[in-house]
Structure 1
Amino acid sequence: MWLVRRQLDTRFERLDPEDDPDRDDRLIRELYQEFGGPLLRQVRQTTGNDLQWAEDVVQETLLRAWRNAAKLTWERGLLWAWLLTVSRRIVIDGRRRRGVRPREVEPPEADSIAVPDAADRTLAAIVVADALRGLSPDHREVIEQTYLRDRTVSEAAEILGIPPGTVKSRLYYALRALRGVLKERGVAN
């Protein structure tokens, strides 16, 4: 194969583009046949075995060799070294680009997007309101004043006409009772 390659190298050097319009096609075909497989194996190691990325790198490397065909030395060892260097630089540039740019993510399917609505909140309010009906009136009043009307213990004590300590005590037992009622209904754990 190397002898055939050497003959092709000298033939490519002698060909004038006007003499052979298929010169470019044959050159790129020869590059792929000679170096495509070994270069792909080498590049896969540097890309972390990412086949798609490695194939892109090989394609870009051989394309650059084709573009620079007039400047290259067509000796097999030198050409192989040049291809390895170019492919390594393409991988490095790709890693730098990936590090700077955020990863591209496919948008989710329209069916899987959760649309916020008030159903959960409404359902929870209904369950808690129903559970509150199961409490004593004293406990229900304390929870209503502190949690539902967002008042402090002192404000609730003044409105209810009881000492703040009593509000705290009733609130403690009211919350315990509310948890018990919700647990019975299988809502709380």
Structure 2
Amino acid sequence: MDRRIQKTRESIFSAFSSLLAHKRYSKITVQDIIDEANIGRSTFYSHFETKDDLLKALCSDIFDHIFSEDLISESTHDFSCASNDLKAKITHILYHLRDSKRDIKGILSCESGELFLSVIKTYLEQLFTGFITNDGLDEIPKEYVVNHMAGSFVETVKWWMQNDMAQSPEELTRFFFTVISSTYQESG
């Protein structure tokens, strides 16, 4: 992507996130975003057709990196050596959500929080599909197990946000896998 285009998109994302932090999604207008980003109307519409498209793009921008196959060392965490470890990937996701706390809280607190959660659930389903073997659960469809884990993790994230992310990403990962594994032990 061209540097100017990338810089403009980042400006729009930043303006939108800033607005979401203090204003309800339904009350934010494209004009508000344009004013906050200090761009022209045609510039906004050359990037996004609607405010909903902007929200979807913001979610995708956050998640494309988080769910990348290649994890890299970052300022708050380093999971670059753990790309085939599901617990490390989940912890990595939680670090990114914590690092993006202001944006995520704004998105979750708005009416389109459900859209955000459905986007993350789709990414999680893809992630879990690659790790779930369904061993010991032959009578249960793999798609059900994946849906259960993704839905459970989304609810875990909601709970964590509501509790102001009081637990560390490692601690929350431990909570999640303890509950998931105890559920499977009862099933098996």
TM-score class, shorter: 0.3 to 0.5
Structure with larger Rg: 1
TM-score normalised over the length of structure 2? 0.33
